[in-house]
Amino acid sequence: MMRLGQSALPTDVYLSSVSSLYEHRKTLVIGMLSHVVTFLLVYLKTSDPLYLACSGVIFVLWALRNLDMARFDRQDFSNADRAMVRKWENRYIVGGVSVTLTCGIACGYAIAISQDPFSELATISVTLASMISLVGRNYGSERAVLLLSSSACLPIVIGLITLQDVFMLALAVLILPFILSTWMMANNVRAFLYENVMAAREIATIAGQFDTALNNMTHGLFMLDADGRVVVANERACELLALGDRTELKGWLLDDVIRRGARRMRLDPDKTKAISRQLDLLLKGKRPQVLIPVSEELHLEFSASRRDNGDTVLIFEDVTARVQAEKQILHMVRFDKLTQLPSRDYFGELVQATVSADDTAERLVGLMVLDVTEFKHVNDMRGHIVGDRLLHAIAGRLRVLAGDDAIVARLMGDEFVVFIPGGSDAIALEERMRGLHADLRDTYEAGGFTFSMTMSAGIVIASSLDLKLEDLQIKADLALSETKLRNRGGCTAFEAEMDARYVDRQKLKADLREAINARSLTLSYQPMFAPNGGRVECCEALARWTHPERGPVPPNVFIQLAEELGLVTEITRFVLDQACRDCMNWPGDVSVSVNLSVLDLRSSEIVVMVTDALRVTGLDAARLHLEVTESCLMDEPLKVQAILRELRGLGITIAIDDFGTGYSSLSYLDALPVDIIKIDRSFVRNIREDSRRFKLLRGTANLARALGLRIVVEGVETADQLQLINEHNCADLIQGFVFAAPMPASAIATLCKNGVPKRGAKTTSKRIA
């Protein structure tokens, strides 16, 4: 066993060892009495005063040592260092050595001087008897054992040596191993106790750390024995379940623990039984984990781990924040953030759940799709924030007007959908939906503005037994499309013919896509003449599509289809390339004009497209005119202005087409890089009979000239209109049937060469084709 000196011990263990020296004071009383009585008996036997003196010394030392031990008891060792502890060890050793040295001297005197057999026997017996208890009382100090045993035995050794007897000398030598063995025994006891003290300390430290860790866990924990009784419970478990002092729970059955927590949390008996039932399934291994909603404010998730000895560790945590976050995420997925109406997907789930709840009887259901009319202009004029507030107001009113039995959702953008389980009367159901649509036509307050809004609607009625929501939505969308085409702001019920028209329209889209890819579109050109008709200055390129089966398709039809397909830019590319090529075959003073759509002006790609067309064909940029409508200028005006300036910088002429039919026309004339305005045909119609219309035409022409712009008047069909325009100098160029209808590119060269034929008087009141 390892030998430990006092210097190797930690201070607190050293203090504990020294403190052990000052304990068990009754043994000092017994030792004192035995020594005093023995020395008095020897004195009575021998009448030697030395023994009487030894008795007195022993008693006085005992009294002084008791006083010193009382001082030790009063000493504050809370901040003791090694020096203080060693001082008290030394004080003890001085007192103990004084006693043992007195006894040793009495023994040596009896052997060497008195030589009385009784004296020798009595003093040596009581001294060596004291040595027996020396190890048990003084093991805490290595020096105390060594000094006390040496001070008691060395006088005996000296006394034996003074006798000058070989046998006595041998006896004296044998006392030395006794001293050594006593010292070694004390060391072994001390080392053994030290190892146990350190082990106990380590165990206590680990236990403390475990207890700290256990009670600082974010999870609650119960350790249950094989009978389901609590062996260990941590603070978090008691906190989560409102159990109070955890030390009171040891030995309790888990069911009793749950009932205690339920009473403290004031849970109803059914909730308590439900919790116990779920935990029982978990402990039996029938569930990997269970989520228990203890209350609205507390959700606990439990898991269990069974050990080989039959114990079970039950761990649980507060997952309320996670549950609430999941609910919030689910709400965000299911409901539109802006309007708080169900989203498209969740709308489908709600409809399916409503129909499935009563799938035994056939009944009618209605679906209505609503589109806010002209909502885009709200965003353009008032901004998206005001637009969002307007949608929120519309959604709120729609929810109230639809009724509690209806399901209202936002599809996307400014589109809403309403599902109504209507019973058995189709007429009543349709009237209800039409009434809802009519009630939505009203004024709305949003962002400090008042808006008078209408909705375009499409409705469809079907049986609940064979309900397919996707098919219903397609039919309602078809009805909505019909409304937008024929009766914007109205409400249209689905009819079977719409489905056929839809299929036909989709077929026409596919054919158009194929025609564009095959470059099978053609161009016609409508010339723009000097007011006297003497010469052609420019020709407007007009795309034409002749369907192989349907024949000519009107431009307003196939251009709209191209916009829906996103192919308008491809048409523009084709028109630009072909128009520039055709223009190269005309006289050098004749230009060509190409229309640009809103989609063309949404990116600077149009600049590259125009540049490539001019480069490939070799056409001078001054001979190319580009026409944009006022609606193009409303869509991202700053970007459009930048693109137009870049095009004009190439030497291209920019014209505003259909001037006067858009929004805020006059405000753009000064800001835009424009060279020509083309006055719409609506200003020309009936100008002889309608003086107000003619005044508008003249005013617009005068304004344009004041701004340095050239004027093209479109839609001039009769000689009478032409004469009135020329009399008042309202145009720089004339475009219309009065001079020429659209014609192929090959006819333009002939027209430029031969000029316009003279017109007779009878042409003044009808179109000239």
For the stretch 535-582, pLDDT in tens is 899 999 999 999 888 889 898 888 888 887 888 889 999 999 999 999
The three state secondary structure string of 652-665 is CEEEEEEECCCCCH
Residues 630 and 682: their CA atoms lie apart, in Å, by 15
- State how far the alpha carbon of 674 is from the alpha carbons of 591, 649, 734, in Å: 17, 12, 18
Q: Of 731, 759, 732, 754, which is closest to residue 743 (Cα–Cα)?
A: 754
Which homologous superfamily does the CATH classification assign to the domain defined by 523-765?
A: EAL domain (3.20.20.450)
Which of 283-297, 495-509, 614-628 is the least confident region? 495-509
For the stretch 265-322, pLDDT in tens is 888 888 888 888 888 888 888 888 888 888 878 888 898 888 877 788 888 888 888 8
Residues 312 and 296: their CA atoms lie apart, in Å, by 29
Residue tagged 């056939």 (tokens)? 362
331-368 CB burial, b ≥16 within 10 A, e <16: eeeebbeebebbbeebbbebbeebbeeeeeeeebbbbb
Whether 492 and 479 have beta carbons less than 8 Å apart is answered as yes
For the stretch 170-180, pLDDT in tens is 888 888 887 77
540: left (phi over 0), alpha (psi -120 to 50) or beta: beta
Reported in sequence order, the residue ranges of 585-716 that DSSP labels E, i.e. its strands, are: 591-596, 624-629, 653-659, 676-679, 710-713
The DSSP secondary-structure symbol of 299 reads E
Beta bridge partners of 450: 445
**Residue 454: exposure state from Cβ atoms within 10 A (0-12, 13-18, ≥19):** middle
pLDDT at residue number 742: 93
pLDDT at residue number 99: 86
The bridge status of strand 289-295 relative to strand 415-423 is: unpaired
Residues 54 and 56: their CA atoms lie apart, in Å, by 5
pLDDT at residue number 199: 66
Residue bearing the bigger pLDDT, 724 or 631: 724
For the stretch 513-526, pLDDT in tens is 898 888 889 999 99
Whether 597 and 565 have beta carbons less than 8 Å apart is answered as no
Q: Of 509, 401, 518, which is closest to residue 455 (Cα–Cα)?
A: 401
The DSSP secondary-structure symbol of 732 reads S
Residue tagged 């036509």 (tokens)? 441
Residues 735 and 541: their CA atoms lie apart, in Å, by 13
Cβ neighbours for 110, distance < 8 A, ≥ 6 positions apart? 42, 116, 119, 120, 122, 123, 124, 159
Residues 278 and 303: their CA atoms lie apart, in Å, by 11
Residues 467 and 359: their CA atoms lie apart, in Å, by 10
- State how far the alpha carbon of 231 is from the alpha carbons of 221, 228, 280, in Å: 11, 9, 18
**Tokens standing for residue 71:** 């001082």
Question: Does residue 716 carry a pLDDT above 80?
Answer: yes
For the stretch 194-249, pLDDT in tens is 666 666 666 666 656 666 666 667 788 888 888 888 888 888 888 888 888 878 88
Question: Does residue 334 carry a pLDDT above 70?
Answer: yes
Q: Looking at the structure, give the CATH architecture of the domain made up of residues 220-325.
A: 2-Layer Sandwich (3.30)
Q: Looking at the structure, give the CATH architecture of the domain made up of residues 339-494.
A: 2-Layer Sandwich (3.30)
Residue bearing the bigger pLDDT, 612 or 207: 612
660: left (phi over 0), alpha (psi -120 to 50) or beta: left
Length of the chain: 769
For the stretch 83-124, pLDDT in tens is 888 888 888 888 888 888 888 898 888 888 888 888 888 888
pLDDT category of residue 136 using cuts at 50, 70 and 90: low
What average pLDDT does the structure give for the chain? 83
